[in-house]
Structure 1
């Protein structure tokens, strides 16, 4: 059996069984008196039991042992930089830019859980409202361990290095310019080779969905068929000390057990991990005039209780054609009631080709003005407006939120990557105003 087979689809009902155990999925009943192969039936619920049918998310797992078979959780001390304290540093409304974040030292072995660094966020996991943005910096695989997030969903954006992810549902390989989503509660482990870096958007309120298309119609942006879920795969392995790690109320804990957590032989449901290739995004853009709002580049959204306003949107700026007439084509100068965290996966971002580098980030907070630097403004104001390929070889993204995000102490001080001279990129913009005679 191939390690990396996928079933296509999104937001639908799936079923899968490891080919080594044919007919492992029970017929007719979810939890018969005795399951095939003497497996245990276990339901994983991602919504309230009484959620409307169209929103109800749950999956039945048929596993060798119930996931409850572990020793008590104790605090996990091998991470100093994961935080949910949004008051540990004074608020800072300035435009912020971070240089590429450093990989772990080659003399230290750091896996992805140990290498989580919280850079900013808002809200509270206990009240199930808010989000956090993390950077992961690691160079080692998780060995005899699994991790799950009790607080919310993880949207993972690799920037450097491939993530070979084992989940309770099967395996996924996620490379730069791909993303994956691991919903709340699903156990997984990440294997890497060498220095590995990327971004994580965590949401507490809800789950990620495809955005409504409205006047765009049936087709465009990310297509449901391109979201891929794993095929069932299990290991029946006794382990002297297998660690199950969890993030609970923003704090890491660990529990020991004597077997691998990845012992699900078959499953069916609609609450699943999935991946997506950003190169398959169908760009919608203006062909007449004006630079469209970045919402037309939304891949996934986590809605809030207010219609049309997101806890978080995941937005990308992929290669595309720019053909507008009589228009300043780059992103316009802007102040926004949303928080905008941007990262760069590869290439050079068109509005700031200097300073904003792959593996780094920017944060433009609520109502903090931002836009193209002087070089971009000058070039775009005088360019010949012919059809032009934009962002070739580049992939920038944005985590946009309706919440006002605070930056952690690590983000502002400890990481030592905050660019104190970021503001200078706008200082050369001079007055061009003239009153004709």
Structure 2
């Protein structure tokens, strides 16, 4: 049985301590120490560390798992050859440069005969950096119609932020279970094993960050409240499975897939405590901040989660959403302004239609605007917004667009450049923009 919203616990703050016991085994958490000589119920203790042991206390992340068998109990890993092996990539330096604006019509959902689970349906669209030195990002799309039976997946390379667009994901993790539907997101952090079950065709997006973890953005002058509130993030509760039999563990390591076999279920954690957990978030809980006077604010006001770099104020990646909201700015061109940016912007659409591009940008599709590549509203949007009545108006009702924004210059994989659903006429959406210059007018 998969837990629903009420069965998850609030992740009341990033860095806070949490704990959970499967109710079938009360008092399974050791009292007073992490690693007793013998754990309750004769469990094994195992620490999962998400940061260096010596990281400062406020940023140190680790959890203790009390499990029936330790995760070390498997045969050696071997390279995994599957239908998407050539589409999972981390050596981005070898790819050709592509500075043009790019758009993709909806990526194809799997057909009944495809038989793809989450791992075999995962494909890298673009990325940058290096998984070996652990500094970079990978952006993926996934399409699957099979559940992961007797198998689990984990990434040794980084954290996965998963954004469903079509179909609900039933995710089992070592920490418990989560149901993640379109309009929600989840984060499975580095090293955490999980399996995805689905009911029919599913599709979505994923962002992986190497070498850091997602945190809530600093609010600064916004104050104590706003954007994504800590209390709205949920973590799973312990729910062990003691099945025995052959299970396949798939690892993403240095950008490549490997598999190993073990003779027991990997989700056999009876209890856990710590601050390094998977979690989910409902995007409708986001408290939007916006202008109530004039001008169009920078999209950073819509940041849900950020993965900071070592340079203050610069992110390896941000996860940004554009939710329904009121637009009330006076004397203002209200849609996004035309701009060139020192960040790369990959946008996806979960539902509805995006205000700056009503045509062509569809749920399940994407756009990519590289560093310093100009972009902005299409010609139709510009003409409409330039002459609109500026009464207060609702924006993006029935819509949820998002953006993976990165300070890295992203390289695009060959399959994504060559796929039939790439819109090679994307640039034409700006072709109708014409000069309105009149030197006599002030």
TM range (shorter): over 0.9
Q: Which residue of 1 aligns with 2:425?
A: 421
Q: Report the 3-state secondary structure (helix = DSSP H, G, I; strand = E; otherwise coil) of the residue aligned with 1:158.
A: strand
Q: Does 1:42 align with 2:15?
A: no
What is the TM-score of this pair, normalised by structure 1? 0.98
Q: Report the 3-state secondary structure (helix = DSSP H, G, I; strand = E; otherwise coil) of the residue aligned with 2:376.
A: coil
Q: Does 1:10 align with 2:13?
A: yes
Q: Which residue of 2 aligns with 1:71?
A: 75
Native 8 Å contact 2:93 2:128 kept in 1? no
Native 8 Å contact 1:88 1:408 kept in 2? no
Native 8 Å contact 1:10 1:228 kept in 2? no
Native 8 Å contact 1:161 1:194 kept in 2? yes
Tell me by how many angstroms 1:2 deviates: 6.8
Q: Which residue of 2 aligns with 1:191?
A: 197
Structure 2's unaligned 5+ residue stretches are none
Q: Report the 3-state secondary structure (helix = DSSP H, G, I; strand = E; otherwise coil) of the residue aligned with 1:123.
A: strand
Q: Report the 3-state secondary structure (helix = DSSP H, G, I; strand = E; otherwise coil) of the residue aligned with 1:378.
A: helix
From 383, 392, 396, give the equivalent of 2:388: 383
Q: Does 1:210 align with 2:195?
A: no
CA distance in 2, matches of 1:265, 1:246: 23
Tell me by how many angstroms 1:85 deviates: 2.9
Q: Which residue of 1 aligns with 2:144?
A: 138
Q: How far does the alpha carbon of each residue in 1:89-122 deviate from its partner, in whole angstroms, 9 at most, with x for none?
A: 4211000000100122321210000011100000
Q: Which residue of 2 aligns with 1:244?
A: 249
CA distance in 2, matches of 1:311, 1:411: 22
Q: How far does the alpha carbon of each residue in 1:207-248 deviate from its partner, in whole angstroms, 9 at most, with x for none?
A: 000000000000000000000000100000011x20011000
Tell me by how many angstroms 1:416 deviates: 2.1
Structure 1's unaligned 5+ residue stretches are none
From 258, 263, 285, give the equivalent of 1:253: 258
Q: How far does the alpha carbon of each residue in 1:115-152 deviate from its partner, in whole angstroms, 9 at most, with x for none?
A: 11100000010001000000011111000001110000
CA distance in 2, matches of 1:93, 1:421: 15
Provide the aligned C-alpha RMSD in A: 1.0
Native 8 Å contact 2:131 2:254 kept in 1? yes
CA distance in 1, matches of 2:407, 2:102: 18
CA distance in 2, matches of 1:271, 1:355: 40
Tell me by how many angstroms 1:88 deviates: 4.8
Native 8 Å contact 2:91 2:130 kept in 1? no
Tell me by how many angstroms 1:83 deviates: 1.3
From 226, 230, 236, give the equivalent of 1:230: 236
Tell me by how many angstroms 1:396 deviates: 0.3
Q: Which residue of 2 aligns with 1:82?
A: 88
Q: Report the 3-state secondary structure (helix = DSSP H, G, I; strand = E; otherwise coil) of the residue aligned with 1:377.
A: helix
What is the TM-score of this pair, normalised by structure 2? 0.97
Displaced runs of 4 or more, over 2 A: 1-4
From 307, 331, 334, give the equivalent of 1:329: 334
CA distance in 2, matches of 1:234, 1:41: 14
